[in-house]
Amino acid sequence: MFSSFNLLTPDVSKEGFALLGLLRAYLEFDMYTSLSVHTETTLKAGEEALKIFEKALREYINSSDLPPELKKSWNFPKAHTHKHVFADILWKGVTQNYNTKPNEKAHSPLKDFYLLMTNFKNFVSQILRLNENDVVAIIIREELDMLDKHHKKQKEALDQDNIAQTIIGNSHVSLGSVQSSMTIGFVEQRHREDPAFKNFRRELSKALPGILGTGRRIQLGLQDEE
């Protein structure tokens, strides 16, 4: 029985240990290819990581004791496209601009279309039609949501206008006095001990023509209200 400390050593499993090294080399290489911003330094480091990955891949291929006819063939497109990845980045920009990752989520509805809504015969044309219907439904739903938001904003604006029209001024300022009107005589009597109100009625009569622009003196009686 092997302990957990030597399970992935070359003495226990030469092929397993080589696979572990290959996975690590791939993850480091993939990290550089996935960067959203590149510099000359990151491109150079990525090319070095690519060389390490290719070396680890050769070591893994040669680690198997199986006869050549039973070994996995690595002669397929995805095993070779990475060789040009950094040249592509120089010509076309970072990989997120042209890889297939943005469309990964589209696979799930296509799978559901195939399993639930086709007869499994000549299904390509059926899936295309279903996908087109799905896109149209999404567009209609988005347009309706935008219309609902527009109506909601209009209603909120109308409600604010109604509130503003219920008082003089606007929603937070109202013209007028919070006190009820009172006679000139009442004001003089109420402030008779205050020197500021001495000859109040006469001084007010002199001041009003200038304030109102009448050009003539206004006579005020004790019962006149302010």
Note down pLDDT in tens along the chain; length 226 residues: 444 455 567 777 888 888 899 999 999 999 999 999 999 999 999 999 999 999 999 898 888 777 776 677 777 777 777 888 999 999 989 988 877 665 666 677 888 888 999 998 888 899 899 989 999 999 999 999 999 999 988 888 887 766 655 555 555 555 566 667 778 778 778 877 887 777 777 777 777 776 666 666 677 777 776 6
User: According to the model, what pLDDT value does residue 167 have?
Assistant: 52
- Say whether 174 sits in a helix, a strand or coil: strand
Q: Which residues contact 201 (CB under 8 A, 6 or more apart)?
A: 184, 188, 220, 222
The Cα–Cα gap between 74 and 56 comes to 13
How many other C-beta atoms are found inside a 10 Å radius of the C-beta of residue 32? 21
Whole-model pTM? 0.44
* C-alpha to C-alpha distance for 15 and 99, rounded to whole angstroms: 31
**What's the confidence (pLDDT) of residue 148?**
92
Q: Is 86 exposed, middle or buried (0-12, 13-18, 19+ CB in 10 A)?
A: buried
pLDDT at 142: 93
In sequence order, which ranges of 118-183 are alpha helices (DSSP H)? 123-165
pLDDT of residue 68: 73
Overall residue count recorded for the chain in this entry:
226
Handedness of CA 101, 103, 109, 111 (dihedral sign): negative
